[in-house]
Structure 1
Amino acid sequence: MSADAGRRVLITGAASGLGAALVSAFAGRGDRVLATDVAFESGFETLAGARSSTTETRLDITSDDDWAAALAWVEREWGGLDVLVNNAGVAGGGRLDVATMDEWEWITRINLFGVVRGTRTFVPMFKDQRSGHIVNVASLAGLVHPAGMASYNAVKAAVVALSETTGHELAAYDVRCSVVCPSYFRTNLIDGLKGADTALGAVIGQLVENSPFSADDIAAAVLEGMDRGEDVIIPDVAARGAWHLKQNDRAAYDAVMRKQAARLDKMG
C-alpha cells in the first residue's frame, strides 16, 4: 500500500472505462473515492452520511449546479479533497470539411469546459488547504495531432495547456497538476463516438480494438506517474514512441501523419 493511502479522491466519468479502472486503482491503495458520472442515477442529495470507501453519485460535468453540489458534499463529508481526477470525456473528431460546428461545440463543451469547471470549483479549496493534486485526463492527441481529428486534438491540446498553467499557478500553494496522455487503449469510449465522419470512426474503432493496453494498464500507470511526481504522464509505450518521434525527427513524424491523412481520404 502506498504511503499516500487514505487520500480523498473525486473521479469524474467513473461509471466505465478508464474512470472505473481509476476508481479500482485508488480504492486498492486504501483511498476513499467519490466516483461520479452522468450515467449514475442517484444524486448528491442521497449521500448524506455516506462513509463507504467508494461512493457513487451522479455528476454532469457541464453543469455548474452539479459541481457546486460536489463541492458542498466534499466539504461536509470529508472536510477537504486530496485528488481531483478530471477524467470524463467523449470521443469525436472528423476531417475539417466533414465535421460540423455542432460537433465542435459539443466536444469542446464536454472535454474542455468540463475540466475547466471541475478545476475552478476546487481550486479555492486546494489553495486554502495548501495541498492537493489535480489530474486531468487528456490524450496523446493533446501532444501528437493525427489527421481527421482536429476537434479532438484541439480540445485535448487545450487540456494539456490548461494543466501546465494550473501547475504554475498553484505551485506556490503546494498543489500539483498532472496531465495524462495515453494512446489508444481498450475501452468503451468508442461506443459513444459521435460525428459525421464515419470513415474516421471505423479507423479509430479498429485502433481501440487492436490495442494491447487495457484501461487497468493505463490506470496503474497513472498512479505510478503520480507517485513519481510527473507533470505529464505518458502511460504507455506506444504514446511515448509517438511523442519521441515528434520531438526528435519532425520530418519522419510529418511523413507518418500525412500518410495517415492520405489513407483516410481514400476511405471516402
Structure 2
Amino acid sequence: MRNRLSLRDRTAVITGAGSGIGRALAQSLAQRGCHLALVDVNAHTLAETVALLPTGVRISQHVFDVANRDVVAAFPVAVVDAHGGADVLINNAGVALGGTFEMVSEEDFDWLFGINFHGVVRMTRAFLPLLRARPEAQLVNISSIFGIVAPAEQVAYAASKFAVRGFSEALRHELEGSSVGVTVVHPGGIRTNISDSARAPQGAEAAEVQRRREAFRKFLRMPPEQAGEIIVQAIERRRKRVLVGSDAVGLSLLSRVAPVSYWSLMAKGLPK
C-alpha cells in the first residue's frame, strides 16, 4: 500500500480550474498549503478562482485549450519555470454534448474527444516525466459516472469518459511499482454549470434544448466544494478509484448487478 501523500509544499497542476470541480479542487489544495499551476480556457473565470484562494501558496495562471497539442507539449516548461516541477496532475477539464449518435455531427464528436480524452492523454504524456522525477507523485483523471454507465443521448460524452477510465486503469497497471500513482474519479451529479454550457446538436430546437437542460440540472445535487474535498482526500490517500456521490455509488453497483440491463432500470428515474 502506498504511503499517504502530504500535499503541503507540493505543486499540483489542475486543468479546468476556472469553475466547478476544478475551482473547488484548487481551494481544497491551497488550504493544505499546496502550490498550484492552474489552467483554463477562460482567463476571466480563472482569475476569479485565484481571487478565492488563500495567500501563502505560489499560484501561476495559464490560459489555453487542452485540445491544443503544441501548447500542451510546451506547458511543462512553464510549470518548471514557475514551480520547479510538479507532484500532482489533475486532468479535470471537460465539456458536454447532448443528443443521440445520429444527431451529433462528426465535427462536434471530435471537438468533445479533443478535450475530454485527447486532452487527458496529451497532458499525461507531457507531465509524466516530471511526475516520475518526484519521490511520490499522483496522476488524477476525472472521468464520470458516465464512464461506468452509458445513458442514451450521451453517446459522445460517455464514450470519452469510458475512454478516460480505460486509459487510466491500463496506465496504472503499467506504472505499478513506480513513484507515480493513478487515481480515476467518477463524479455523479455535481452542481456545476456543465449542463448549461453543454453544446447542443446542430438543428436542435432551442426550447427543447432548454427543457432538457432544466430537467438534467435537477440531478446535479452535490456542491462542487464537497466533491473537491472528497477528491483531494482521495489524492492524499492515493486511492485508485473514487466514486463521488451516493448516486455514483448506486449506479456503479447497479452496473455490476445488471451489466446488460441496467439502462431499463436507470431510465425509469429519468425525465422523459
- TM-score if structure 1 supplies the norm length? 0.86
The 1-side partners of 2:163 and 2:58 are apart by 33
Q: 2:187·2:244 contact (CA, 8 Å) conserved in 1?
A: yes
Aligned Cα root-mean-square deviation (Å)? 2.4
The alignment status of 1:178 with 2:183, answered yes or no, reads: yes
TM-superposed CA distance for 1:80, in Å, is: 1.8
1:190 and 1:96 map into 2 onto residues whose CA distance is 18
Cα drift, residue 208 of structure 1: 2.6
Distance (Å, rounded) in 2 between the aligned partners of 1:228 and 1:132: 12
Of residues 19, 22, 28, the one that matches 1:19 is 22
Which residue of structure 1 aligns with residue 31 of structure 2? 28
Q: How many residues align?
A: 254
- 1:228/1:129 Cα in 2 relative to 1: closer, same or farther (>3 Å)? closer
The answer for unaligned runs of 5 or more in structure 1 is: 42-50
Deviations 1:14-48 (A, max 9, x none): 1111111111111011100111111127xxxxxxx
Does the alignment pair 1:212 with 2:215? no
Q: Displaced runs of 4+ in structure 1, greater than 6 A?
A: none
**CA distance 1:247–1:129, change in 2 (3 Å):** same
**Secondary structure of 2:149 counterpart:** coil
Partner secondary structure for residue 18 of structure 1: helix
Maintained 8 Å contact 1:147/1:260: no
Q: Does 2:230 align with 1:221? A: yes
Q: Structure 2: give runs of 5+ residues left out of the alignment.
A: 45-55
Q: 1:233 to 1:117 in 2, by over 3 A?
A: same
The 8 Å contact of residues 17 and 26 in structure 2, kept in 1 or not, is answered as yes
Structure 1 pair 251/66, CA: closer, same or farther in 2 (3 Å)? closer
SS at match of 2:199: coil
- The residue that corresponds to 2:170 in the other structure is 165
With over 3 angstroms needed to count, the CA separation of the structure-2 counterparts of 1:87 and 1:205, relative to structure 1, is: farther
**CA distance in 1: counterparts of 2:136 and 2:238, whole angstroms:** 14
When you count helix as a share of all residues, which structure comes out higher?
Answer: 1
Going from structure 1 to structure 2, the CA distance change for 1:230 and 1:201 (only over 3 Å counts) comes to: farther
Aligned with residue 56 of structure 1, among 53, 61, 65: 61
Q: Is the contact between residue 184 and residue 211 of structure 1 (CA under 8 Å) also seen in structure 2?
A: yes
TM-score normalised per structure 2: 0.85
